[in-house]
């Protein structure tokens, strides 16, 4: 049987650099459209992305004015789940709101 932690150095107690790096992070980006209400976008930012009402309003206005904006930065699985949640909530409310993820 091999050593349980092949790259663990028992002399120094350290791991190789590649083992201690943080997982890749992804930006979750909200896209503007002409139909989703501003109030709904603020609700999404507060409930899905845990923003305060003030932060949510500023991000929503930035997306409205600039076409897209970053809602947060998360590990891949968390980012994927947030994109899916936004799309599910938007579809069930009848809005075309779009969200995507971008590698950092
Ligand atoms: N542009 C929308 C409106 O005027 C508001 C909006 C903001 C929609 C941000 C989507 O991601 C968005 N009602």
**pLDDT tens digit string along 66-104?**
999 999 999 999 999 999 999 999 999 999 999 999 998
Task: Name residues contacting ligand 1 (CB within 6 A).
Answer: 30-34, 36-38, 41, 60, 63-64, 97
Index of the ligand 1 atom closest to the CA of residue 68: 11
* 42-68 confidence digits (pLDDT tens): 999 999 999 999 999 999 999 999 999
pTM: predicted TM-score of the whole model, two decimal places: 0.83
Distance CA 72, CA 1 (A): 43
Index of the ligand 1 atom closest to the CA of residue 38: 5
Residue extents of the structural domains in the chain: 19-103
According to CATH, the topology of domain 19-103 is Ribosomal Protein L30; Chain: A, (3.30.1390)
Q: How is 34-80 classified by DSSP, letter by letter?
A: SSS-HHHHHHHHHHTS---HHHHHHHHHHHHHHSEEEEEEEEHHHHH
Distance CA 87, CA 99 (A): 7
* Nearest residue by C-alpha to atom 2 in ligand 1: 34
Check: CB of residue 103 under 8 Å from CB of residue 26: yes
């Amino acid at each position: 049987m091999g050593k349980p932690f092949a790259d663990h150095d028992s002399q120094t107690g350290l791991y190789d650099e590649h083992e201690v790096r943080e997982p890749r992070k992804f930006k979750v980006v909200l896209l503007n459209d002409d139909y989703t209400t501003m109030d709904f976008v603020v609700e999404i930012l507060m409930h899905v992305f845990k923003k305060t009402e003030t932060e949510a309003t500023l991000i929503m206005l930035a997306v409205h004015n600039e076409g897209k904006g970053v809602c947060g930065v998360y590990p891949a699985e968390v980012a994927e789940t947030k994109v899916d949640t936004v799309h599910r909530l938007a579809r069930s409310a009848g809005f075309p709101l779009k969200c995507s993820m971008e590698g950092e």
